[in-house]
Amino acid sequence: MAGYLAAGGLLALAQSALAVPVLEARIVSTPTTTFTSDAATIVPIVPVTNVSYHGPYTGPAPTTTGAMSTSVLASSVPILPPEAGKFAYPADGDLHADEPAPYTPAGGLGTNGSEPVYRVQSDFDYQSIALGLYQEWIELDLFHWGLATYSTEEWEAAGLTAEDRFLIEFMADQEVGHATILTNMLGPNAPKQCTYNYPTMNPREYIDFNQKLTRWGESGVYGFLNHLDSREVGQILLQSITTEARQQMIFRQFNGQFPMPVWFESGIPQSWAWTLLAPYISSCPEGTKQLIWQNYPALHILNQPNVARIDGASVYNETLGDYANTANTAGIAPKDACVNATEVGANCSPAITHNRTIPLSYPGREVFLQWDKPGSPVGPNNSYITSTSAGTPMFALWVSQLNATYTPLLNVSGNTGYTIQPNVSTFEGDPAINGTMFLALTDVDIPVTPFNLSSINSHVYAVSLYQAG
Ligand SMILES: *[C@@H]1O[C@H](CO)[C@@H](O)[C@H](O)[C@H]1NC(C)=O
Ligand SMILES: *[C@@H]1O[C@H](CO)[C@@H](O)[C@H](O)[C@H]1NC(C)=O
Ligand SMILES: *[C@@H]1O[C@H](CO)[C@@H](O)[C@H](O)[C@H]1NC(C)=O
Ligand SMILES: *[C@@H]1O[C@H](CO)[C@@H](O)[C@H](O)[C@H]1NC(C)=O
Ligand SMILES: *[C@@H]1O[C@H](CO)[C@@H](O)[C@H](O)[C@H]1NC(C)=O
Ligand SMILES: *[C@@H]1O[C@H](CO)[C@@H](O)[C@H](O)[C@H]1NC(C)=O
Ligand SMILES: *[C@@H]1O[C@H](CO)[C@@H](O)[C@H](O)[C@H]1NC(C)=O
Ligand SMILES: *[C@@H]1O[C@H](CO)[C@@H](O)[C@H](O)[C@H]1NC(C)=O
Ligand SMILES: *[C@@H]1O[C@H](CO)[C@@H](O)[C@H](O)[C@H]1NC(C)=O
Ligand SMILES: *[C@@H]1O[C@H](CO)[C@@H](O)[C@H](O)[C@H]1NC(C)=O
Ligand SMILES: *[C@@H]1O[C@H](CO)[C@@H](O)[C@H](O)[C@H]1NC(C)=O
Query: Is the beta carbon of 302 within 6 A of some atom in ligand 5?
Result: yes
CB 256 within 8 A of CB 351: yes
> Residue 332 contacts by C-beta under 8 Å, 6 or more apart in sequence?
306, 308, 309
* 3-class DSSP assignment, residue 102: coil
Sheet holding 436-442, edge to edge: 403-408, 395-400, 436-442, 460-467
Mean pLDDT over all residues of the chain?
Answer: 94
Confidence of residue 371 (pLDDT cuts 50, 70, 90): very high
Element (H, E) at 420: strand 416-420
Query: Is the beta carbon of 375 within 6 A of some atom in ligand 2?
Result: no
pLDDT tens digits for range 332-346: 999 999 999 999 999
Ligand 7 geometric centre to CA of 441 (Å): 24
CB 354 within 8 A of CB 257: yes
> Residue 387 contacts by C-beta under 8 Å, 6 or more apart in sequence?
66, 294, 295, 296, 374, 375
Q: Which atom of ligand 11 is nearest to the CA of 455?
A: 13
Confidence of residue 14 (pLDDT cuts 50, 70, 90): very low
Query: Is the beta carbon of 266 within 6 A of some atom in ligand 4?
Result: no
Query: Is the beta carbon of 403 within 6 A of some atom in ligand 10?
Result: yes
| CB environment 130-167: b (16+ within 10 A), e (fewer) | bbbbbbbbbbbbbbbbbeeebeeeebeebbbeeebbee
Per domain, the residue ranges of the chain are 123-283, 299-467
Report pLDDT for 1.
Answer: 32
Report pLDDT for 28.
Answer: 75
pLDDT tens digits for range 154-167: 999 999 999 999 99
Among 109, 112, 115, 233, say which to mutate for ligand 2: greatest number of ligand atoms within 8 Å of CB: 112
Amino acid making up residue 369: L
What residues pair up with 236 in beta bridges, in sequence order?
A: none
CATH topology for 123-283? Ferritin (1.20.1260)
Handedness of CA 370, 441, 245, 190 (dihedral sign): negative
Q: Taking residues 342-359, report their average pLDDT.
A: 98
Q: Taking residues 58-72, report their average pLDDT.
A: 96
The ligand placed nearest to the CA atom of residue 113 is 2
